[in-house]
A and B are shown apart, each in its own frame.
Chain A
Amino acid sequence: MKLEVLQFELNARKVSVRVKPDATLLDVLREDLDLTGAKRGCGEGECGACTVLIDGMPVDSCIYPALKAAGKNIETIEGLGTEDNLHPVQKAFLDEGAVQCGFCTPGMILTTTALLAKNQSPSEEEVKVALSGNLCRCTGYTKIINAVKVAARNINKL
């Protein structure tokens, strides 16, 4: 299959990569760019483990054609914070114990980041609506909701 050149902005850096025309964005991130933070869960856009931000919007990268990302701004969990300097949402998830097996966590955190960029103090219902596309089997969501509330408070304090 003929490869196509794909250029986009990834975690604030310009990247250029040759991809199969039928590749999904998740394929390119995980296989070509070695960014394995976004997970392949169901592979059909149901679980949200593959969530990345495209121009600030949370998107299931497992069903997003890679070539559609041309010229767009993509953010993955790898671009959010570093181990020494965590993003407030990452810190809140750790502090509140909102992580168990961790498989849903990158998607949960990115969706939360997008929510808080739009709405600085979401109600519990708004948090639930925003995160309803991200499934979690371990935590029961209670601590995730707490973490989003704590993250919102901490971001507002900055």
Chain B
Amino acid sequence: MKKRGCGIGSMWYGIGNTGLPNPSGAFVQVLDDCTVIIHTGCADIGQGSTTVLAQIAAEELGVNFNDISVICADTGVTPDAGKTSASRQTYISGNAVRKAAQSAKETIFKKGAELLQVPEEELILKNYQLNSLKNYNIQISLKEIMAKCREDGTLVIGHGWFNPQTKGLDKRGQGIPYATYAFATQWVEVEVDTETGEIDILNVVAAHDVGKAVNPMAVEGQIEGGSVMGAGYALMEEIILDDGKIINSSFSNYLIPTIKDVPCVNSIIVEEEEVTGPFGAKGVGEPALIPTATAIANAISNALGIRFYELPITPEKILNSLKTANNTNKNQRDF
């Protein structure tokens, strides 16, 4: 018989290293042709940090994304940005890049204020143009400012770094372990075959609070990928050790989800802007896989009326539990 069930999993997750300093730094230079070079130690391992950091600099400097080049993760030339871990790069390196862009922008504003004869405070930089907020007719192009800077030998270079405000944990585990948190809830529907123990995931809905989604498509990609990794964790992935050695270290005996094992993930991006984040952004990397196994285990329990306390929930475990449950019922009836 096939039985269906639904389950929910929720989580919160601290962004950055727990109760420890974990700063990130960046350099930003605006060149004469208004293109921008960013140097950051941030390693993009496919999550899209390089794209996101370029977007943050573009937004801050009022230039196009295509005019930004990012030189990243080269210990020979880039400043330390810490690890790509703890779902921290958008939040921490994003802030570092934004601060570096702001510090480069100070030079642009100073020069602009001098040329336009207005106070720096009333200037705004957008679309390669410096305008006075009070009188939009007072304006100068970024290109002209860069030319003037070149004339008098000023380089438009900024650096910035950010370290999330944390406080180490005391003996009682009290402190401020993280500067900000991500929140998520996922809902899963499964179908369990009581003859074979096979579990089919029919639907996944994953709602994630990411602060501000700097790149919504990349955020969706993280949510979809994380949920599927979480499904593997729930149903199939298990490292088997024999005398300290991993005996299933290949894809033929350590199974991960294939395209046939999972449904399309419906992601919902929740944007509750984080005041300390770059343009309100937090992180999404790990949060995407944290609630999935919980939601799946709850859905299986909902379908079968049996709780599982050990992952992965394999067909063997399902069949054994169904057998035990049947025997218990039978014994109770016989009694």
A142 at the interface (CB under 8 A from B): yes
- Whether B228 lies near A140 (C-beta < 8 A) is yes
- Whether B46 lies near A143 (C-beta < 8 A) is no
A24 at the interface (CB under 8 A from B): no
**Nearest CB of A to B84, in Å:** 12
- Whether A44 lies near B264 (C-beta < 8 A) is no
What per-residue 1/0 map shows which CB atoms of B221-257 lie under 8 Å from chain A? 1011111110000000000000000000011100011
Residues facing B in A99-158 (CB within 8 A) are 100-103, 127-129, 131-145
Query: Which residues of B lie under 8 Å from residue A100 when comparing CB positions?
Result: 46-48, 221, 225
Query: Which residues of A lie under 8 Å from residue B256 when comparing CB positions?
Result: 135, 137
- Contacts A42-B251, A132-B260; A97 near B218 (Cβ below 8 A): yes
**Nearest CB of B to A127, in Å:** 8
Query: Which residues of B lie under 8 Å from residue A136 when comparing CB positions?
Result: 225, 259
Range class of the B interface residue count: 20 to 34
**Nearest CB of A to B52, in Å:** 13
Query: Which residues of B lie under 8 Å from residue A97 when comparing CB positions?
Result: 217-218, 220-221
- Whether A145 lies near B259 (C-beta < 8 A) is yes
- Whether B46 lies near A134 (C-beta < 8 A) is no
- Whether A101 lies near B46 (C-beta < 8 A) is yes
The complex places the Cα of A58 from the Cα of B244 at a distance, in Å, of: 38
A55 at the interface (CB under 8 A from B): no
- Whether B250 lies near A135 (C-beta < 8 A) is no
B149 at the interface (CB under 8 A from A): no
A10 at the interface (CB under 8 A from B): no
The complex places the Cα of A83 from the Cα of B42 at a distance, in Å, of: 26
Query: Which residues of A lie under 8 Å from residue B250 when comparing CB positions?
Result: 42, 44, 46
Number of interface residues of A (CB under 8 A): 27
The complex places the Cα of A44 from the Cα of B229 at a distance, in Å, of: 22
Name the residue on B nearest A47 (C-beta): B251
**B225: contacting residue among A42, A47, A128, A138, CB under 8 A:** A138
- Whether B221 lies near A138 (C-beta < 8 A) is yes
- Whether A142 lies near B46 (C-beta < 8 A) is no
Query: Which residues of A lie under 8 Å from residue B47 when comparing CB positions?
Result: 100, 138
- Whether B262 lies near A140 (C-beta < 8 A) is yes
Tell me which of A101, A129, A139, A140 has the highest count of chain B C-beta atoms within 10 A of its own C-beta.
A140
Residues facing B in A29-59 (CB within 8 A) are 42, 44, 46-47
- Whether A135 lies near B46 (C-beta < 8 A) is no
B303 at the interface (CB under 8 A from A): no
The complex places the Cα of A132 from the Cα of B218 at a distance, in Å, of: 23
The complex places the Cα of A137 from the Cα of B259 at a distance, in Å, of: 10
Name the residue on A nearest B226 (C-beta): A140
Name the residue on A nearest B216 (C-beta): A97
Name the residue on A nearest B218 (C-beta): A97
- Whether A139 lies near B221 (C-beta < 8 A) is yes
Query: Which residues of B lie under 8 Å from residue A145 when comparing CB positions?
Result: 259, 264
- Whether A102 lies near B259 (C-beta < 8 A) is no
Query: Which residues of A lie under 8 Å from residue B252 when comparing CB positions?
Result: 44, 46
- Contacts A47-B251, A140-B265, A141-B228; A134 near B259 (Cβ below 8 A): yes
Query: Which residues of B lie under 8 Å from residue A101 when comparing CB positions?
Result: 45-46
The complex places the Cα of A103 from the Cα of B46 at a distance, in Å, of: 9
The complex places the Cα of A35 from the Cα of B159 at a distance, in Å, of: 39
7 smallest beta-carbon distances between A and B, as pairs: A101-B46, A140-B224, A46-B251, A140-B228, A100-B46, A140-B225, A97-B217
Chain A residues at the B interface, C-beta cutoff of 8 Å: 42, 44, 46-47, 97, 100-103, 127-129, 131-145
Excluding A101-B46, A103-B46, A143-B220, 14 further A-B contacts by CB distance (< 8 Å) are A46-B252, A47-B251, A131-B259, A132-B258, A135-B258, A137-B225, A138-B47, A138-B225, A140-B223, A140-B225, A140-B226, A140-B265, A141-B259, A141-B262
